[in-house]
Amino acid sequence: MEAALGVFFICCMSVLSPLSGVSDGELRGCPPSPNCVSSQSMQYNIVHKVDPIVYTTTRQVAFERMAKYFHESENIWIIEEKEGEYIRVIFFTKVFRFPDRVEIYFPEDKQEAQVRSQSILGLWDIFANRRRVNQFRELLAKE
């Protein structure tokens, strides 16, 4: 019974996870459940850690490229967009329409985008968030 209760609370923690947004130049952290990845997680946290997305264009071009992708894609709801700096969206999976929260932050001082992707429902995401971050990486790597 305790194990089932523990799994239930971990699942609820992903719904009630830290708020979204940027605080002191960093995205909020991931909950303890393995359904979230972040480029600003601790270096040795292999469950949540992904590398930031490095781009070779200007910050504005990289932001516009990501914003265009979000505006033109299906199954994406744009929640917040701060021009040239931050985008927060909700992805909906194609088959079951599960929601995933994605945030991308473009700091001024580096040519890299910080990213956080989290499945809102469920305990595990079957690496969907890591695959999504890799798609963003490919999109920003184009010249």
> 45-99: per-residue pLDDT in tens?
889 999 999 999 999 999 999 999 999 999 999 999 999 999 999 999 888 889 9
pLDDT of residue 130 exceeding 60: yes
Residue 24, pLDDT score: 87
Residue 89, pLDDT score: 98
37 forms beta bridges with 117
pLDDT of residue 10 exceeding 70: no
Across the chain, where does the E strand assignment appear?
22-23, 26-27, 36-38, 53-54, 76-82, 86-92, 99-105, 112-119
Q: What percent of the chain has pLDDT over 70?
A: 86
Identify the domain containing residue 118 by its residue range: 1-141
Q: Which of 77, 81, 71 is nearest to 92 (CA)?
A: 77
**On the CB side of 133, how many CA atoms lie within 13 Å of its CA?**
27
Overall number of domains in the chain: 1
Can you give the CATH number for the domain in which 128 is found? 3.30.310.80
Distance CA 117, CA 128 (A): 9
* Euclidean distance between the first and the last CA atom of the chain, given in angstroms as a whole number: 54
pLDDT in tens, 22-34: 888 899 889 888 9
Residue 101 or residue 31, greater confidence: 101
Distance CA 9, CA 18 (A): 15
Residue 124, pLDDT score: 84
The model's confidence at residue 2, banded by pLDDT at 50, 70 and 90, is low
